[in-house]
Amino acid sequence: MPTKTYSGYVAIVGRPNVGKSTLINALVGEKISITTPKPQTTRHRILGVLTQGPRQAVLVDTPGLQQDTKRAIHRLMTRTVHQALADADVIVLVVEAGRLEKQDEFLIRLASESGMPLVLVVNKIDRVTPRERLLPYLQRLGEAGDFTAIVPVSAKSGENLPELARCILDAVPAGPRLFPEGMRTDRDQAFRVVEIIREKLMLRLHQEVPYGISVELEHMRPVGQGWLLHAVVWVERDAHKAIVVGRGGRVMKDVGGAARAELSRLLGGPVHLELWVKVRKHWADSERTLRQMGLDVT
């Protein structure tokens, strides 16, 4: 008789910047989702696959819930979060150690009402010393909702992640495997290339500009032992173009250098990367344009 298997979708939700993407990368053991100190870094639903023996958890990284729903890209991200919740078998709600904001409480209510297994992750415990300071906070959380488990972790240092993985895998219902054993993400290489470039841009730029940026891979082909890549960085305004290029092309040089180093590791060979900055006005306002640029519109 074949072994009984367990498999399910796990929605990772939480306010922007609590460390959802970092957590998925750490659990899966590979960089699947880009992370920066800026909110709104994650724009897509990204799947990370965690398999241990007969149990498999498909982790769905969600863009942060946005309060400002005026712009199309924010509406899109909010819709994606709600859909991730509706499609999930297990919810993992992430909060930041020591903090409980209105948006956290809103998400705790929303997730509790779903009646699904709900694991509360208290992330960034590496920032709290001494650890005993967490106790009253953990108690307060315990009273705020009905959780299958509350697991304090550090996605950054890896502390307590094996326990969290166990806890998530235990909550997954019986069912056939959804992805093959060795598979860790549903995203192809081209997608990951674009995301790595976007991460380096967001890390290098400040304030307003990053949210109006989108990267499009025009061309990718093997050359000798390595790769030739052409990508366009789309910005919304002429003024932004000047900032993104930088004086004497400084910003583009830094971004290109940082991206190239990481892309060489991802693709396994030297990378020749050419970046162009182009203006497409108000792209973030139109869902149709978003669709054309390959962003998820569900």
Residue ranges in 208-267 that form contacts with ligand GDP under rule CB under 6 A: none
Question: Which residue's beta carbon is nearest to the bound ligand GDP?
Answer: 19
Backbone angles phi, psi at 255, to 5 degrees: -65, -45
Q: Exposure pattern of 113-131 as b/e (b: 16+ CB <10 Å)?
A: eeebbbbbbbbbbeebeee
Q: How far apart are CA 36 and CA 203, in angstroms?
A: 6
Strand 46-52 relative to strand 55-61, pairing? antiparallel
Which chain residues interact with Mg ion by CB under 5 A? 20-21, 42
Q: How far apart are CA 23 and CA 61, in angstroms?
A: 9
Is position 17 an interface residue for ligand GDP (rule: CB under 6 A)? yes
Is position 45 an interface residue for ligand GDP (rule: CB under 6 A)? no
Helices and strands in the chain, H and E counts? 9, 9
CB of 115 to Mg ion, least distance (A): 26
Given 7, 51, 56, 123, the residue binding ligand GDP (CB under 6 A): 123
Given 8, 10, 11, 20, the residue binding ligand GDP (CB under 6 A): 20
CB of 4 to ligand GDP, least distance (A): 33
Rg (C-alpha) for the chain, rounded Å, is 20
Q: Which of ligand GDP, Mg ion, none has residue 123 at its interface (CB below 5 to 8 Å by kind)?
A: ligand GDP
Contacts with ligand GDP by CB under 6 A: the residue count is 21
Is position 154 an interface residue for ligand GDP (rule: CB under 6 A)? yes
CB of 41 to ligand GDP, least distance (A): 5
Which residue, 120 or 229, is less far from Mg ion as judged by CB?
A: 120
Q: Which of ligand GDP, Mg ion, none has residue 124 at its interface (CB below 5 to 8 Å by kind)?
A: ligand GDP
Residue ranges in 69-108 that form contacts with ligand GDP under rule CB under 6 A: none
Q: How far apart are CA 17 and CA 155, in angstroms?
A: 12
Q: Exposure pattern of 78-111 as b/e (b: 16+ CB <10 Å)?
A: bebbebbbeebbbbbbbbbbeeeeebbeebbebb
Which residue, 24 or 284, is less far from ligand GDP as judged by CB?
A: 24
User: Secondary structure of 243-292 in the HEC alphabet?
Assistant: HHHCHHHHHHHHHHHHHHHHHHHHHCCCEEEEEEEEECCCHHHCHHHHHH
Q: Which of ligand GDP, Mg ion, none has residue 43 at its interface (CB below 5 to 8 Å by kind)?
A: none
Residue ranges in 46-75 that form contacts with ligand GDP under rule CB under 6 A: 64
Residue where the block lists tokens 């992370």: 35
Which residue, 19 or 280, is less far from ligand GDP as judged by CB?
A: 19
Chain CA centroid to CA 151, Å: 20
CB of 156 to ligand GDP, least distance (A): 3
Which residue, 42 or 214, is less far from ligand GDP as judged by CB?
A: 42
Interface residues toward ligand GDP, by CB under 6 A:
14, 16-22, 35-37, 41-42, 64, 123-124, 126-127, 154-156
